[in-house]
């Protein structure tokens, strides 16, 4: 497993290509979320008061707890990458498992929040019953909340699937200090998804706090 | 027949094609798929051009007409033009031009073809279910609140195809950075590679914004989450901003690769080193960069602020500079060259003329006051068809003719090639030049019926479209015949420079027996015949 694929000259070239490919992909992801963030920023400026009030419908304590979970999972991911570099298979498996479990916890909390919103009739297009002067803008805000956190959660679920696959590969001893580009790339992806949440959390949850 | 091993006869099984990771075979898969969609999109155009022969709506009703032009636009833009040169010629040539054995990520390349097939299948399903009628621009609130057609299915198809485009761009960027042969510095790259690189940047940076925009549209229409719904404080104009943030750069996805092809052809058939290599290379990047700053010129009359309109107008004018740099450099390359009138050259020269006219009329549209007069008229339709059909399709066909001997190992009939180039050029101008006049006289686009005084020009346009359609069928026929009856092309029928011409035709699966080493700049033409 230490020879490069047929079209590469050597492992170094293959590794550099994989890393650059991942970075370009993350640029794509930034633009993908960027469209959403731009749209949100626009409405936030045009409906500032209504959005600040609607943000209080979200429980910042749950969001903060989930932020802590996600940051810890990123630490586990960083440790997993280090274990892969050093060729410590057992550590690699351990940290990959920890990362994906924390990721799963995050998604579970997210869905608990969604269920809570549904119980409070706060899901636009499904069950929405808010009265009052800013009902429509609240609906707009919550639409963004569900789309943005939903797309983010989808990225989390994809990430967890990748991590589980990597865990299985690590168990079979596929990775070595020379050959672990997949772990590095999964790490980049995981940190990226983490960073998206770091922006989403204050933007959605903390807006109404002041 | 006793041919040495090449990528075509390496294996004949169906699975060896459908599971191939060879960039050349994937290029052929794309060639077959987009040719199909070219004729599907063309068929829709035939129908509405026939409808427009007579002023009243007699052949099709307004609803069918709307579905036809939507289908034409969606199919031609997303399923033909965007993948055309990058996914067919780029896939085939990029690794060979830089002396590599394949793209950096061959499996990803195959995945992007499958995503293309999946997305186009979903879009085709929408058409078969009765089509959609929003126009290819899917403007809200029409697409979200009023259209009673298969908007969600069609939009999802386009969404999926977008990922195929992103992955192709990603693959090309990494390949260009990491896979170049020893000695092949950036300024020794063929200009086609520079053009593909600029295109890939746009694909990677702009397509995701279209993705999220279409997703928001689906969320609004399908799930009732009203992001653009004015009733709850949403802004339909925001959709237009997000849509054109992708779709204006996408116009450059649909022209930059063509410019790259033309650079290759012009210098080869002038037997002269290209004039102003660094200017052509950097103008590609400049067009890609400026292309991101001009989307607002699609919204001059949509209620965008007047100041924004002015800024977008000025920025749009700036795009003319790198475009003109290219045209001047091609012309200077032709000057005192030993020009030969082979088929690819005829297409390339046609490109220069038609692109220039399309570009100049773009300036007319970028002018705020004039745009208010011609906005949403046939003037706009004529303008972008001069760029996208007169430009990109001409360049695509020029490129197909130029590299056909390399792809298939066969020479086509040169006589028929020249005839087709001439027929297409004439047919194209007869179709679309009258539309400039129609638009200037005030005929709006996207209507199935029109006042009597526009009939003469419309009949001319329809007559041109018939010639154009026949012109497109010609290469389809003689290129296919060349596979059976064509003479063997040999390694380098045009005596062109470039690494791709140093391998046999068709090339072996691994492209090069030995990775070539590059010791000189691109386009060392005319060294032997210099005065």
Closest CA to B391 of B323, B458, B300: B323
Tell me whether 0.95 is exceeded by the ipTM. no
| A residues 34-93 lying closer than 8 A (beta carbon) to B | 34-36, 38-39, 42-43, 46-47, 50
All residues of chain A having their beta carbon less than 8 Å from the beta carbon of residue B197 are: none
Pairing of strands A127-128, A122-123: antiparallel
Q: Distance between CA atoms of B397 and B475, rounded to whole angstroms?
A: 9
Tokens 């410590």, located at residue:
A88
Domain ranges of chain A: 12-205
Question: B177 vs A32: CB contact, 8 Å cut-off?
Answer: no
Helix then strand count (H, E) for chain B reads 18, 0
B97 in a structural domain: yes
* pLDDT(B527) > 70: no
**Residue A140 contacts B, CB cutoff 8 Å:** yes
Comparing B233 with A88, which gets the higher pLDDT?
A88
Yes or no, beta carbons of B170 and A144 under 8 Å apart: no
Token code pair at residue A24: 């370009």
Looking at residue B273, its pLDDT comes to 94
Distance from CA of B60 to the nearest CA of A (A): 36
Q: Residue B109: which domain range?
A: 24-502
Predicted local distance difference test score (pLDDT) of residue B424: 98
Question: What's B253's domain CATH number?
Answer: 1.20.210.10
Q: Which residue has the tokens 């940190």?
A: A191
Which residues of chain B neighbour A9 with C-beta distances below 8 Å? 515
Residues B438-454: what's their mean pLDDT?
Answer: 96
State CA A38 to chain mean position distance. Answer: 18
Q: Closest by alpha carbon to A66, among A20, A103, A94, A29?
A: A103
Give B85-121 as a 3 state SS string. HHHHHHHHHHHHHCCCCCCCCHHHHHHHHHHHHHHHH
Residue B14 lies in a domain: no
- Touching check for B237 and chain A: CB below 8 Å? no
Q: What whole-number distance in Å separates Cα of residue B243 and Cα of residue A35? A: 10
Tell me whether B526 touches chain A (CB under 8 Å): no
CB B174 within 8 A of CB B98: no
Would you mind telling me the total number of residues written for chain B in this entry?
531
Chain A residue numbers touching B223 (CB-CB < 8 A): 125-126
Q: Number of structural domains, chain B?
A: 1
Q: Does B111 touch chain A (CB under 8 A)?
A: no
CA distance B153 to B437: 37
Over residues B184-220, the pLDDT tens digits come to 999 999 999 999 999 999 999 999 999 999 999 999 9
Residue A128 is predicted with a pLDDT of 86
B402 pLDDT band, cuts 50/70/90, is very high
Verify cis geometry, omega within 30 degrees of 0, for the bond prior to B506: yes
Tell me the backbone φ, ψ of residue A178, rounded to 5 degrees.
Answer: -85, -20
Chain A CA closest to residue B165 = A28
Say whether residue B123 is in contact with chain A using an 8 A CB cutoff.
Answer: no
Query: Looking at the domain assignment, is residue B100 inside a domain?
Result: yes
Q: Is the pLDDT of residue A193 over 60?
A: yes
> Which pLDDT belongs to residue B224?
86
Start-to-end CA span in chain A (Å): 56
Q: Is residue B163 part of a domain?
A: yes
Yes or no: say if B199 and A11 are a contact pair by the CB < 8 Å rule.
Answer: no
Instruction: Using alpha carbons only, give the angle B33, A24, B195 rounded to the nearest 5 degrees.
Output: 60
Mean pLDDT of A153-168: 97
* 3-state SS, residue B422: helix
Range B371-396 average pLDDT: 96
User: Can you give the pLDDT at residue B120?
Assistant: 97
Answer yes or no: is pLDDT of B491 > 60. yes
Residue B530 has pLDDT above 80, yes or no: no
Find the range with the poorest average confidence among A111-115, A188-192, B218-222, B311-315: B218-222
Determine contact: A126 vs chain B, CB below 8 A.
yes
Supply the pLDDT for residue B1: 46
Residue B62: its pLDDT value, please? 93
Q: Is B110 on the interface with A (CB under 8 A)?
A: no
Asked whether residue B531 is domain-assigned, the answer is no
Q: Which of A4, A13, A39, A131 to mutate to test the interface with B (most CBs of B within 10 A)?
A: A39
CATH top-level class of A12-205? mainly alpha
Rounded mean pLDDT of A76-103? 97
B407 class by beta-carbon count within 10 Å (0-12 exposed, 13-18 middle, 19+ buried): buried
Tell me what the pLDDT averaged over chain B comes to: 94
Please provide the DSSP assignment of B171-194 as one string.
HHHHHHHH-PPTT--GGGS-HHHH
Distance from CA of B292 to the nearest CA of A (A): 12
Token pair 């499996």 is found at B107
Q: Is the bond into B141 cis (omega within 30 degrees of 0)?
A: yes
Instruction: Write the residue in B100, B102, B170 that is nearest to A24 by C-beta.
Output: B170
CB-CB under 8 Å, A43 with B235: yes
Tell me what pLDDT residue B93 has: 97
What does DSSP assign to residue B393?
I
CA dihedral B350, B351, B353, B358 (to 10 degrees): 140
């Amino acid at each position: 497993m230490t020879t490069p694929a047929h079209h590469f000259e050597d492992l170094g070239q293959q590794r550099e290509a994989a890393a650059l490919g991942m970075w370009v992909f993350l640029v794509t992801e930034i633009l993908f979320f960027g469209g959403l963030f731009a749209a949100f920023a626009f409405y936030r400026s045009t409906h500032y008061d209504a959005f600040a009030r609607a943000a209080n419908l979200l429980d910042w304590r749950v969001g903060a707890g989930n932020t802590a979970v996600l940051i810890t999972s990123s630490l586990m991911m960083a440790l997993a990458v280090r274990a892969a570099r050093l060729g410590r298979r057992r550590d690699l498996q351990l940290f990959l498992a920890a990362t994906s479990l924390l990721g799963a916890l995050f998604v579970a909390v997210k869905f608990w929040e969604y269920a809570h919103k549904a119980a409070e009739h706060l899901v636009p297009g499904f069950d929405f019953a808010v009265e009052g002067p800013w009902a429509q803008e609240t609906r707009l805000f919550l639409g963004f909340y569900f789309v943005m956190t939903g797309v983010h959660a989808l990225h989390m679920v994809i990430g967890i699937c990748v991590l589980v696959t990597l865990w299985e590969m690590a168990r079979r001893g596929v990775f070595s200090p020379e050959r672990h580009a997949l772990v590095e790339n999964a790490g980049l992806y995981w940190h990226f998804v983490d960073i998206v949440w770091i922006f989403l959390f204050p933007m959605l949850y903390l807006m109404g706090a002041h | 027949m006793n041919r040495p091993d090449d990528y075509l006869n390496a294996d004949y099984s169906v699975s060896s094609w459908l599971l191939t990771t060879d960039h050349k075979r994937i290029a052929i898969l794309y060639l077959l798929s987009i040719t199909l969609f070219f004729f599907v999109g063309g068929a829709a155009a035939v129908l509405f051009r026939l409808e427009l022969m007579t002023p009243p709506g007699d052949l099709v009703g307004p609803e069918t007409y709307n579905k036809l032009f939507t289908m034409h636009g969606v199919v031609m833009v997303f399923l033909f033009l965007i993948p055309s040169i990058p996914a067919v010629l780029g896939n085939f040539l990029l690794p060979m031009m830089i002396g590599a054995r394949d793209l950096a990520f061959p499996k990803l390349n195959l995945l992007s073809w499958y995503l293309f097939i999946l997305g186009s299948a979903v879009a085709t399903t929408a058409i078969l279910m009765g089509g959609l009628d929003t126009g290819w621009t899917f403007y809200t609130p029409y697409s979200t609140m009023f259209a009673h057609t298969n908007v969600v299915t069609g939009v999802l198809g386009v969404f999926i195809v977008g990922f195929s485009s992103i992955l192709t761009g990603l693959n090309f960027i990494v390949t260009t950075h990491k896979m170049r042969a020893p000695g092949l510095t950036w300024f020794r790259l063929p200009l086609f590679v520079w053009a593909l690189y600029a295109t890939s940047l746009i694909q990677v940076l702009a397509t995701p914004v279209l993705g999220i925009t279409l997703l928001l549209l689906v969320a609004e229409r399908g799930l009732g989450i009203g992001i653009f719904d004015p009733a709850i404080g949403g802004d339909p104009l925001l959709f237009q901003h997000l849509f054109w943030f992708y779709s204006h750069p996408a116009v450059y996805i649909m022209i930059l690769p063509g410019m790259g092809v033309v650079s290759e052809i012009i210098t080869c058939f002038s037997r002269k080193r290209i004039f102003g290599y660094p200017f052509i290379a950097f103008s590609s990047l400049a067009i890609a960069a400026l292309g991101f700053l001009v989307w607002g010129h699609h919204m001059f009359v949509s209620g965008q602020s007047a100041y924004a309109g002015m800024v977008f107008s000025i920025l749009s004018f700036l795009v003319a500079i790198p475009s003109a740099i290219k045209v001047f450099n091609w012309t200077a390359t032709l000057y005192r060259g030993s020009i030969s009138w082979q088929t690819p050259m005829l297409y390339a020269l046609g490109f220069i003329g038609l692109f220039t006219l399309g570009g100049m009329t773009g300036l007319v549209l970028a002018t705020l006051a004039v745009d208010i007069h011609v906005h949403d008229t046939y003037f706009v339709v004529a303008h972008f068809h001069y760029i996208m059909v007169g430009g990109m399709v001409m360049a695509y066909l020029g490129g197909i003719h130029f590299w056909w001997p390399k792809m298939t190992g066969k020479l086509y009939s040169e006589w028929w090639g020249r005839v087709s180039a001439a027929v297409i050029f004439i047919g194209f101008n007869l179709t679309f030049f009258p539309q400039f006049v129609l638009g200037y006289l005030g005929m709006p686009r996207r209507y199935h019926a029109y006042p009597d005084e526009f009939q003469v020009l419309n009949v001319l346009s329809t007559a041109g479209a018939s010639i154009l359609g026949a012109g497109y069928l010609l290469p389809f026929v003689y290129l296919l015949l060349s596979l059976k009856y064509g003479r063997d092309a040999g390694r380098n029928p045009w005596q062109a420079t470039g690494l791709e011409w140093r391998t046999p035709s068709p090339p072996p699966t691994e492209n090069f027996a030995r990775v070539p080493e590059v010791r000189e700049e691109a386009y060392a033409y005319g060294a032997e015949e210099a005065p």
